[in-house]
Amino acid sequence: MRTFSTVVALALLALAAAMPAAASPIALNNADFSASATPDGWTYDMAGWTKPATAGSWDSALGGHSGAVIAAHGYVAWINDWYNSDKVSQATLATYVEGSTYTFSIDVGFPPVKYNDNGGSVGAELLLMTQDGATLATADVINADFGNFHRYSVVYTATAADAGKQVVVAFSKLQAPQWAESAEFDNAALVATPEPATMSLLAVGALSLIRRRK
């Protein structure tokens, strides 16, 4: 017959296995790309981000969108160059922690009319990097949904070698001719999910208690 302490230990073990680690958002400047809004609706500026000359921000209506897309997205970032794959990036105030998992997500849009004379699909690359320019993880994504946005992510779990290095997020447009000339981006977000060390310790303690009772 199991003792009360053994039952409690088993319950703690089950709890440790079932509880996910909580994700914490990491602040990004101008994550919705609206900080550089201008009266005429477009600009080569992109406050808070480091960008190439062929990128900026504009009202999504200028990209040929309409209706619900404009209402949902308003100002967006744009990259408009067939052959330039330079990155738009931002160095955050966060540093990598060994064992923590980092997820950078962003909406990638496909302008339906303007600046996409060659048609095709929008190809984009999402990156997690360090301040010294090292790329830790990439995700190439394809949006073939003409005139709409879809959300994509790149995920990376930091190693001991990454610990203490500044977290940098970046995105770029894959080069033409196989991809459309222009790509749009909106609602950037970065979250960190810590290694569930506390729950792991709880599980170890529960197992130890069970062994002592056997």
Condensed to tens digits (0 to 9), the pLDDT of residues 29-69 reads: 999 999 988 988 989 999 999 999 889 999 998 878 888 99
Which residues span the domain enclosing 11?
1-20+196-214
- 210 and 115 co-located in one domain: no
Condensed to tens digits (0 to 9), the pLDDT of residues 91-133 reads: 999 999 999 999 999 999 887 765 555 556 788 999 999 999 9
- 168 and 139 co-located in one domain: yes
Query: What are the structure tokens assigned to 209, written together?
Result: 């208690």
- 81 and 143 co-located in one domain: yes
Condensed to tens digits (0 to 9), the pLDDT of residues 148-187 reads: 899 999 999 999 999 999 999 999 988 755 666 788 999 9
Q: Tell me 19's DSSP state.
A: P
- 119 and 108 co-located in one domain: yes
Q: Is 88 within 8 Å of 170 (Cβ atoms)?
A: yes
- 184 and 89 co-located in one domain: yes
- 157 and 204 co-located in one domain: no
C-alpha distances (whole Å) from 86 to each of 13, 80, 101, 148, 175 are 48, 11, 26, 23, 10
- 172 and 190 co-located in one domain: yes
Q: 120: domain CATH number?
A: 2.60.120.260
What is the tally of structural domains in the chain?
2
Residue with token string 């960190």: 192
- 12 and 103 co-located in one domain: no
* CB neighbours of residue 185 within 10 Å: 27
- 84 and 152 co-located in one domain: yes
The residue among 65 and 212 whose pLDDT is bigger is 65
- CA 53, CA 46: separation in Å to the nearest integer? 11
- 32 and 126 co-located in one domain: yes
- CA 165, CA 182: separation in Å to the nearest integer? 32
- 114 and 201 co-located in one domain: no
- 128 and 112 co-located in one domain: yes
Q: Write down the pTM of the prediction.
A: 0.82
